[in-house]
Amino acid sequence: MNSDVSTIARRVRDQAEALPELFGRFDFDKAPERWAPEADAVSELGRVRSIDRSAYLDDPELLGRIREYTMLGDRTGDAYAALMPRYGFQRTVAMLVEACDKGIEAVEDAPAELVALIREMEQRPDWLDMVLVEEGAAYERNATANLSPFLIRGAFIATFLNKYSALPMALTGTLGQATAARRVKETATFFATTALPGALDRFGPGFKAAAMVRLMHSMVRVNVLSRPGMWDADTYGMPIPQLDQMPAGLIPVYFMSQEVLAKGRTRFTRLERGRVELARYRCYLLGLPEDLLADTPQEIVRIWRTRSATLRYEYDDQVCGGLLRATMDAELSKDRSPKGQVKRRLEYSVSRVFFVKAFLAGDEARAADVGVPVRRRDHLIYGATMLGIAGRMAAYRVASRLPILRHLADRRLVHRIERQLAEYGRAEFTSDAAHYKPATAS
């Protein structure tokens, strides 16, 4: 499944030929500042004291692939998003929605670029096992219904800790609380939707959500590159490269892979394979290169850590701090009932503590410095809430093993997820350049 570096390099450089008005000014032979393979560089992985960064700098072939993917956007998605000046923002979105809902044949005078995008997503990879995908989704529904609503904000802001990967979000106006809340809800909506039964089938809601997220990222890429002076390619490389979408799509299976290896195992169980297959297919539909979608715990960890080991790290308060504070202060729920008020307070504390534990190695001093202070009561609320969630999830796991209760429990989880989606509201999965606000790192 792995592509050789020369093949990836041609694919990267072909972007300039396919869309010269966007990528013609890129020097793909020159690595951007964000690329940090040197031994003494400060990288994202270097901040993790328990991991030897040098161990992930000794594979020239993998380094070469990661280097090239640093400059790869979404060729098919970008080509369609580049039609916005011709069709307009609304029509570009509407045609994709219709193609997802009714098939590409239903779109009158569908442009070739839209046909190519839909056909690419419809093409299932050779490795795909949809039975495993459904098994993984069934397992994930427990966490999606019970745990994810409390953690999604904390996981979302983890992407804002590094200016080299956070800048596109700042450019799109996410420094404002309203936009930040919408982006968190859209992220939660995507992952919740794709955990529903049959969601990733061709006409399932997850397939459509993946297409809309893909268009949104391409719209950001096209918009920032179309406006003079908005993007510094020499510093940041490609806006939202496919490489930067890998962490969001694979974060659960990365943590799981670490746990598997820590236990001395080198192979996934059937249940774990289902979770991996779900995550891989989600990422595939989002346009990620297949050779970034490993299927063993060793390779998942190796690729993830190599990407982190070569991504230069710098915290910029104007960009990173602004995004963090806006997202942590954003109002995610409009439920003003007593129950809604309690749930909102619990989520506020749980998401903060989770963020610090999972992404700052428990460093509360640093958390305070970046604008996410954690207090004693937050820890108390976190402990009590997680204990209750653990009990509820354990009950659902037991029920899933009992023939009589299995289907009842799953229907209940599906109902809870659907109710969550209703609370999040309709996800637009779009990015309108009219709302963009210039943001530059200091």
Q: Determine, yes or no, domain membership for 341.
A: no
Residue 175 has pLDDT above 60, yes or no: no
Question: CA 179 → CA 36, 151, 193, distances in Å?
Answer: 31, 19, 21
Strongest mean pLDDT among 147-156, 165-174, 244-253, 280-289:
280-289
First to last CA, the chain: 41
Q: Determine, yes or no, domain membership for 383.
A: no
Place of tokens 């003494």: 40
Span 360-372, average pLDDT: 88
CA dist 371 and 157 (Å) reads 11
Residue 189 belongs to domain spanning: 5-113+123-331
CA dist 104 and 100 (Å) reads 7
pTM score of the predicted model:
0.91
- State how many domains the chain has: 1
CA dist 289 and 39 (Å) reads 27
pLDDT tens, residue by residue, 376-434? 999 999 999 999 999 999 999 999 999 889 999 999 999 999 999 998 877 666 555 55
Question: CA 41 → CA 33, 116, 160, 331, distances in Å?
Answer: 11, 40, 20, 38
Q: Can you say whether residue 429 is alpha, beta or left, with left for phi > 0 and alpha for psi between -120 and 50 degrees?
A: left
Structure tokens at 355: 């963020």
pLDDT tens, residue by residue, 99-148? 999 999 999 999 999 999 999 999 999 999 999 999 999 999 999 999 99
Q: Determine, yes or no, domain membership for 82.
A: yes
CA dist 405 and 36 (Å) reads 52
Strand segments, DSSP code E, in 257-324 are none
CA dist 140 and 413 (Å) reads 10
Strand segments, DSSP code E, in 262-393 are none
φ/ψ of residue 58, rounded to 5: -110, 20
Q: Determine, yes or no, domain membership for 98.
A: yes
- Specify the pLDDT at position 84: 94
Cα angle value 246/252/254 (rounded, 5°): 65
Residue 186 has pLDDT above 50, yes or no: yes
In 3D space, the residue among 440, 439, 175 whose CA is nearest the CA of residue 330 turns out to be 175
Q: Determine, yes or no, domain membership for 409.
A: no
97-101, 193-197, 226-230: least confident range? 226-230
CB 324 within 8 A of CB 372: yes
> Which stretch of DSSP H or E encloses residue 300?
helix 297-309
CA dist 343 and 46 (Å) reads 36
71-85, 177-191, 210-224: least confident range? 177-191
pLDDT tens, residue by residue, 390-399? 999 999 999 9
In terms of Cβ atoms closer than 10 Å to its own Cβ (0-12, 13-18, 19+), residue 386 is middle
Q: Determine, yes or no, domain membership for 345.
A: no
Q: Determine, yes or no, domain membership for 321.
A: yes
Q: Determine, yes or no, domain membership for 395.
A: no
